[in-house]
Structure 1
Amino acid sequence: MKAIGFHGTGGPEVLEVVDLEDPAPREGEILIRAHAAAVNPTDTVGRAGQRAAGNHRPPFVPGMDAAGVVREIGSGTRTDLEVGDAVMAVVVPSGSHGAYSELLAVPADSVVSAPRGADHVEAATLPMNGLTARLALDTLGLSAGDVIAVTGAAGAMGGYVVQLAKADGLTVVADAAEKDEELGRSLGADVVLRRGDGFADLVRERYPDGVDGGVDGALLLERFAPAVRDGGTIITIRGYDEPGERGITFRPILVVDYAREREKLDILREQAEQGIVSLRVADVLPKEQAPEAHRRLEAGGVRGRLVLTF
């Protein structure tokens, strides 16, 4: 099979088409003929060498979101899916196993039907970012009526946090650049404030005691803390867990903790079908243009997801 991988870390140019042995599904696994894979910041971080590759040998294949068709079901695997079904999956990359591949053998608990009416490209935008947003809100543990602040709200993960928080009955304060203010409102944010280092001060002007919690998709970190009430929690996505002032807790999350939460992924599918969450595609590129996709993502300003097709 063909995949997109790299033999040595570096810039986007290290990505290339590689030939790999076709995987075979074991018990508990489903083999997917993948047709689309979303490009995420996690992919670019791994390619650049900012995360350890472990003991695996190259080529290394990135990618955590895939959509395609069930090709084969491993013997003894319990699933309601059938060969030929359109599906989406969250993938935990390891060595040459990653979503940038024509064929993927993944745990059955990481695979659900694709949303009705969505094509492969659209379906590939949901699993990793949607589950990350769900994990962030579940970890935060706020109740209906509470107020949450979200930075990076125009991004894929941040946008899902806004939409899912509204579905949970929260009041949402979102950041946005001037050009993204209407996007923030369209996602359902109750209050949209200018993004940047001054965001926390703007939040305090609206909520003098601070909001009940936050999700920091923009990596403001300690600059986010003044927006949150005493003893509140801020969810971070790059491992930041330094102690905060006023009893504020920074809680890092890793989506791999939800990689086999099939029921939660299936609820996201239902919410996509109901229009509660949006499948936002920024652009579609053939797999051979993976270096260009990484360059564009690292340059910033992408709204929605860049998706590679296989």
Structure 2
Amino acid sequence: MSTIKTTALGSQGLTVPVQGLGCMGMTTLAGADIYGKADEAEGIATIHRALELGINFLDTADLYGPMLNERLIAKAIKGSRDKYIIATKFGWEIDDNEQLTWAINGQPGYVRKSIERSLKNLDTDVIDLYYLHRVDPNTPIEDTVGAMADLVKEGKVRYIGLSEASAETIRKAHAVHPITALQSEYSLFEREPEVNGVLDTLRELGIGFVPYSPLGRGFITGEIKSPDDFAADDFRRQIPRFQGENFYKNMDLLKQINQLAAEKDVTPSQLALAWVLSKNAVAIPGTKRIKYLEQNAAATDIELSAAELASLESIIPPGVTAGNRYDDFSMNGVNI
């Protein structure tokens, strides 16, 4: 398998592989497994194999664990920090006992507290890409981004990004300090950024796009056949898209994707990733297993014709997927 290509992420000078690695599932979150059982040794081995494939763009957040994910990455990259591009996120408030309060905090003082904590957890002097995980509705975005800009001036952060921000917020933030990347959920099953003005705004301002959950939180892999296939503590049980009638409606859409994948002799996951990559986006599929990492990496070599892209997009136009992508509490935190 050849080393994957690199691309400019945004217009501020950051170069990354066309596909990164989402690390969230490598540790538990608030004591619960995210996508099946987490295994630290397996996660570290996957990060090492990713580097061999040219996937040196790792995505984490202080939320994951909390803190455990950043610490796992520190172990994995020890002695090789300069070979990796590390992106982490802050904003979900974590108290001094390392407990989540489940509030969003974008206050300048909390920005400062968060970066010092992440630098320590990641055992590094600088974060390559530092995202605001969610927009704090009670703090002007100009104040949050102003504090993030100070971190760039101090050399603690190289580039800054936002996650799940609205087009209006992106513009306000970018006016304070250049935003390098926006992270948002985006996949064949979640196409809202195409219709809410976000993608248009990113193109206009020269901001890179980093879709997370490009495989629809594992739905497109085809390994989940029923809502009962999820472990009792799997957080997808809380997501309307995976519940009851919605699940089976979405399964019908997946059957058509599976058919197209079979015709092209690729897996449904690879087809879905190739579609995301065709949008000049840097996908960060999450996995903690080398087998899936290698399958995902192979998707970077798949070329899709205009006809194939049109076929895929006609199966699941924006808004057709049944059920929200988060529960009500979490939906309140997106597109702010």
Common fold, TM-score beyond 0.5? no
Hey, which of these two has a bigger chunk of helix by percent? 2
- TM-score for the superposition, normalised by structure 1: 0.29
